[in-house]
């Protein structure tokens, strides 16, 4: 069938683009059945995240269950939404560039459909005709007035196909379009515009899969077995895949953990036989590191559901820890801990590549609220630390108020707290990760030739006798 833009839609396209007939639509999606397609699930999930601030994984699970998607279609929907969220700012920019007067008010389905359609055309290997025809059919199947925008959707997507190279060149020159204004301003102020742009460019890419081995495992042998590369910090990196299908997963020889996230626990040094308190521990990557290094670990987190994942991870790897569901800002162990790791709740702006929904669900106000919570947890944790003990504070955030500013305030107000600088030797010789103050700051744009890393800030503190 031919799908031609209506006169009204054609008038909204910049340059009054020449109308071009579409290729025949795929016949395996009958009209009216679009509500159960993976593309429709992707659109609904995208709207749930961007309009209602729902967590991505929760929204996707709900939509896929309702649509009864098989694993292959669910994987397509997952990848499409993740890509759309990573590139949302750029895709909205493209829509505005291709329309003279912008989208009609309340055209929420239309915008989300255009975003996912453009994501397929510009960034995925989807066939152009499938991206256009099934997106247009989705709009036609709507019950409300937005079904009248099917011609507009068709026209915009087809112009994007014709101008793909020009559009991509434009987008590559300004990766910061994918950042909300508050993040652009925050990172420009903290790191300068070039670094802000480098971070933004990295966040728009797919993250690698990093693996932490149990101590004593042969890292070189596992890198070969897993078709990965051994990183300076000891992690193994490979392209993303079905984790459970990899050798060694079921046996618990390793677990998934970004190279940056794997560093904080190592900064406690030799902890064999020591009692280590792991605050805000779920889902358990650092808990497993501590237990595997020979420590007796008390893992504390207030989320019962997330602690269920931690228990499952411990069982799979054959490691043990005392698991406590409690408030990290108030919990006190029965026996004093030797060392403490605080992986504080934060805005997670360092992990936006893995959790791009946070780009559009967090605000600067959230950062301020979280900074207050971090301060309370840090102060309580330090009260529990014995003289001579080590406390490692970390956040997967790039916001100064959650990282260096938090530690600067704490050290200024706490006489017995002393910074223990991180050294290049602590991080596999990667001295570019160490700040002038001696803390660790991993930016997503660091280690670019190997695929970057998550953003992390880490400070190491000890308690001196006053």
The answer on pLDDT for 303 being more than 60 is yes
DSSP characters for 63-86?
HHHHHT--HHHHHHHHHHHHHHHH
Q: Quick check: is 186 in a domain?
A: no
Q: Which of 120, 151, 172 is the last residue of a domain?
A: 172
Q: Quick check: is 184 in a domain?
A: no
- pLDDT score, position 103: 87
Residues 445 and 296 in one domain: yes
Residues 167 and 264 in one domain: no
- pLDDT score, position 23: 30
Residues 284 and 432 in one domain: yes
Residues 153 and 267 in one domain: no
Q: Quick check: is 122 in a domain?
A: yes
Give residue-wise pLDDT tens across range 67-115: 999 999 999 999 999 999 999 999 999 999 999 888 888 899 999 999 9
Q: Quick check: is 449 in a domain?
A: yes
Give residue-wise pLDDT tens across range 359-409: 998 899 999 999 999 999 999 999 999 999 999 999 999 999 999 999 999
Q: Quick check: is 134 in a domain?
A: yes
Residues 158 and 290 in one domain: no
CB neighbour list of residue 254: distance below 8 Å, 6 or more residues apart: 211, 212, 213, 214, 217, 222, 236, 248
Give residue-wise pLDDT tens across range 250-293: 999 999 999 999 999 999 999 999 999 999 999 999 999 999 99
Residue 8, number of CB atoms within 10 A of its CB:
12
Residues 279 and 166 in one domain: no
Q: In the predicted model, what is the mean pLDDT of residues 214-218?
A: 92
- pLDDT score, position 240: 85
60: containing domain:
7-172
3-state secondary structure of 13: strand
Q: Which of 157, 172, 187 is the last residue of a domain?
A: 172
Q: Which of 466, 461, 462 is nearest to 440 (CA)?
A: 461
Q: Which of 137, 172, 207 is the last residue of a domain?
A: 172
- Residue 305 binned pLDDT confidence (cut-offs 50, 70, 90): very high
Distance CA 122, CA 125 (A): 9
The answer on pLDDT for 1 being more than 80 is no
Report phi then psi at 388, rounded to 5: 90, -10
The answer on pLDDT for 140 being more than 70 is yes
Residues 155 and 271 in one domain: no
**Mean pLDDT, the chain, integer:** 91
| C-alpha pair distances (Å), 84 with each of 90, 320, 333, 346 | 9, 39, 44, 24
Extract the runs of DSSP E, i.e. beta strands, from 193-321. 209-213, 229-230, 236-238, 254-256, 275-279, 296-301
Distance CA 293, CA 215 (A): 7
Give residue-wise pLDDT tens across range 447-462: 998 999 999 999 999 9
Q: In the predicted model, what is the mean pLDDT of residues 141-151?
A: 91
Rounded to two decimals, the pTM is 0.88
DSSP characters for 173-186?
T-GGGGS-HHHHHH
Residue scoring higher pLDDT (284 or 18):
284
* Class of residue 276 by CB neighbours under 10 A (exposed 0-12, middle 13-18, buried 19+): buried
The answer to whether 432 and 387 are in contact (CB under 8 A) is no
- pLDDT score, position 223: 97
Give residue-wise pLDDT tens across range 201-213: 999 999 999 999 9
Q: Quick check: is 47 in a domain?
A: yes
Q: Which of 18, 34, 35 is nearest to 26 (CA)?
A: 34
Q: Quick check: is 195 in a domain?
A: no
The answer on pLDDT for 464 being more than 60 is yes
CB neighbour list of residue 249: distance below 8 Å, 6 or more residues apart: 243, 316
Residue scoring higher pLDDT (13 or 314):
314
CB neighbour list of residue 275: distance below 8 Å, 6 or more residues apart: 295, 296, 297, 298, 333, 335, 336, 337, 338, 339
Joined tokens for residue 235: 């992690």
Distance CA 354, CA 25 (A): 33
Q: What percent of the chain has pLDDT over 90?
A: 87
Distance CA 39, CA 242 (A): 22
Distance CA 361, CA 377 (A): 24
Q: In the predicted model, what is the mean pLDDT of residues 47-57?
A: 94
End-to-end Cα spacing for the chain: 82
Give residue-wise pLDDT tens across range 406-432: 999 999 999 999 999 999 999 999 999
CATH number at residue 393: 3.40.50.150
- pLDDT score, position 466: 82
Domain count, the chain: 2
Give residue-wise pLDDT tens across range 314-360: 999 999 999 999 999 999 999 999 999 999 999 999 999 999 999 99
CATH number at residue 29: 1.10.940.10
Q: Quick check: is 309 in a domain?
A: yes
Give me the residues paired with residue 462 across strands: 390, 418
Residues 277 and 420 in one domain: yes
- Residue 36 binned pLDDT confidence (cut-offs 50, 70, 90): low
- pLDDT score, position 453: 97
293-311 burial: b if 16+ Cβ within 10 Å, else e: bebbbbbbbbeeeebeebe
DSSP characters for 53-64?
---HHHHHHHHH
Distance CA 455, CA 433 (A): 10
């Amino acid at each position: 069938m031919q799908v031609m833009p209506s006169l009204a839609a054609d008038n909204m396209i910049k340059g009054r683009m020449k109308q071009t007939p579409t290729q025949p639509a795929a016949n395996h999606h009958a009209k009216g059945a679009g509500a159960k397609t993976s593309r429709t699930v992707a659109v609904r999930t995208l709207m749930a995240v961007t309009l209602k601030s729902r967590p991505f994984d929760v929204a996707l699970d709900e939509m896929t269950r309702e649509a009864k998607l098989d694993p292959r279609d669910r994987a397509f929907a997952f990848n499409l939404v993740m890509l759309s969220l990573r590139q949302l700012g750029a895709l909205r920019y493209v829509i505005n560039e291709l329309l003279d007067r912008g989208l009609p008010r309340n055209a929420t389905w239309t915008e989300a459909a255009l975003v996912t359609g453009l994501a397929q055309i510009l960034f995925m290997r989807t066939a152009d005709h499938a991206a256009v025809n099934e997106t247009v059919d989705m709009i036609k199947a709507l019950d409300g007035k937005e079904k009248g925008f099917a011609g507009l959707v068709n026209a915009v997507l087809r112009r994007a196909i014709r101008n793909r190279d020009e559009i991509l060149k434009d987008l590559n020159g300004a990766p910061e379009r994918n950042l909300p204004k508050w993040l652009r301003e925050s990172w420009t102020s903290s790191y300068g515009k070039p670094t802000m742009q480098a971070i933004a460019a990295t966040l728009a890419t797919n993250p690698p899969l990093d693996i932490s081995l149990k101590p004593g495992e042969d890292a070189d042998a596992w890198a070969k077995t897993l078709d990965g590369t051994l990183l300076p910090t000891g992690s193994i990196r490979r392209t993303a895949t079905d984790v459970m299908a990899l050798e060694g997963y079921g046996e618990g020889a390793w677990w998934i953990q970004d190279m940056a996230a794997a560093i904080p626990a190592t900064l406690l040094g030799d902890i064999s036989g020591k009692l280590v308190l792991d605050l805000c521990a779920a889902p358990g990557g650092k808990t497993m590191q501590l237990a595997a290094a020979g420590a007796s670990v008390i893992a504390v987190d207030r989320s019962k559901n997330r602690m269920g994942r931690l228990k499952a991870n411990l069982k799979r790897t054959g490691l043990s820890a005392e698991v406590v569901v409690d408030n990290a800002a108030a919990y006190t162990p029965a026996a004093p801990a030797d060392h403490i790791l605080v992986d504080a709740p934060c805005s997670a702006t360092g992990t936006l590549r893995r959790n791009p929904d946070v780009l559009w669900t967090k605000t600067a106000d959230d950062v301020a609220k979280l900074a207050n919570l971090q301060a309370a947890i840090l102060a309580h944790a330090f009260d529990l630390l014995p003289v001579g003990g080590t406390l490692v504070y970390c956040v997967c955030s790039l916001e100064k108020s959650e990282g260096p500013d938090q530690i600067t305030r704490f050290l200024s107000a706490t006489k017995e707290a002393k910074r223990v600088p991180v050294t290049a030797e602590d991080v596999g010789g990667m001295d570019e990760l160490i700040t002038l103050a001696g803390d660790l700051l991993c930016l997503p744009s660091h280690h670019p030739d190997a695929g970057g890393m998550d953003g992390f800030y880490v400070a190491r503190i000890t308690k001196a006798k006053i």
